[in-house]
Amino acid sequence: MLKEFVKFSLVGASGTLVNLAIYSLAIYLGTNYMAAATISFLVAVTNNFYWNFIWTFKGKAPEKSIRWKYVSFFLISVLNFGINLIALKYLVDVYMLNKILAQILAIGVASVFNFLLNYLITFR
């Protein structure tokens, strides 16, 4: 499990970079920060699934179809995205943090929960 967690974390770090690049661009273009978070999430979740499927959990749960794994991964990611949005809104509106710093922290809040659910459900 530790090996998978390290790989999952590395994939998550790359997904965070994808997320932040798109989020920052959307903010720069004047998009509302919550809408920017949604757009960046949709791109990053697909990036993360791809890399977790071919590297982190390669060969795991062979009886499950790729479609089932993606849908499961996506639904778990949506749940974690909800956690991310709550944290993001709280950090921006209550603590008045910079929107990009707040997004980095919000992603961190949801990451451990995301790993555990995908380890136990999607790729088990």
List the chain pLDDT tens, one digit each, 124 residues. Answer: 789 989 999 999 999 999 999 999 999 999 999 999 999 999 999 999 999 999 999 998 899 999 999 999 999 999 999 999 999 999 999 999 999 999 899 988 888 888 888 889 988 8
What confidence score (pLDDT) does residue 111 get? 84
Buried b (16+ CB within 10 A) or exposed e, 58-69: eeeeeeeeeeeb
Residue 100's pLDDT is what? 92
99 contacts 33 by C-beta, under 8 angstroms: yes
Round to whole Å and give the CA distance between 81 and 110. 7
Crossing angle of helices 33-51 and 66-93, rounded to 10° = 150
Q: How far apart are the first and last CA of the chain?
A: 11
Residue whose token pair is 């997904």: 15
Looking at residue 115, what is its pLDDT?
Answer: 85
pTM: 0.78
Length of the chain: 124
The pairs formed by 29-37 with CB atoms below 8 angstroms and a separation of 24 or more are 33/88, 33/92, 33/99, 33/103, 34/85, 34/88, 34/89, 37/84, 37/85, 37/88, 37/103, 37/106
Coil, helix or strand at residue 123: coil
- What confidence score (pLDDT) does residue 118 get? 85
* Residue 112: predicted pLDDT: 80
